[in-house]
Amino acid sequence: MVSMTLGALAVSVDLLHAALMAIWFSGLPLLFWHRWPILSRAYAAYALAFVLVSQLSQWVLGQCILTSAAQAIWESQPSGTAPADASEWFTVRLARAVFRWAPSHRAIARISELFVLLTAVGVIRSLRPRAVRVATANAGPQPHR
C-alpha cells in the first residue's frame, strides 16, 4: 500500500513538473505580443519565477528541484518497485514516453538555455512601460539628417 502511495506521489510530482513546463513554454508568446497586458504581466512574473527557481536548482542540485523530488520519492520505495529510469531527468523520461526517443542531457541543457534567453528578453520587453512601447512603435523610421 505504501509503495502505491509513494508511486502515486512521484507520478503527481512528474505531472506537476510537466504542467509547469507546458505553461512556461506555451505562454512565451505573451511576452512578445501584448494583446492582453494584464495576462502578459502575470505571465512575465510566472516566467521569471520559473526560470529563477529552475536555474537556482540547476546550480545547487545539478537538475530541476522537481526532478530531484520525484527521484527521492521513487528511491524511497521498496526495491524493485520503482521504474528502471526513475533516476533519469524528467525531460528525458517525458521524451521517451512521448516520442520513444530522448535527447542527450547536453541537448536538453542547450534548448533550456535558449528558452531561458527568450524568457529573459521577453520579460525585459514586457516590463517596459506601455508608453515607451507605444512611443517606440509610433516613432517609425527616423529621417537621416
Question: Tens digits of per-residue pLDDT, 87-134?
Answer: 777 777 778 888 888 888 788 888 888 888 888 888 888 777 665 555
The residues, any chain, with a CB within 8 Å of residue 63's CB and separated by 6 or more, are 57, 89
Q: How far is CA 22 from CA 51, 89, 123, 136, 141, in A?
A: 13, 16, 18, 32, 38
Name every residue whose Cβ is closer than 8 Å to that of residue 9 and which is 6 or more positions away in sequence: 73
Cβ atoms of 47 and 122 within 8 Å: the answer is yes
Instruction: Provide the whole-model pTM.
Output: 0.71
Model confidence band, residue 137 (pLDDT cutoffs 50, 70, 90): low
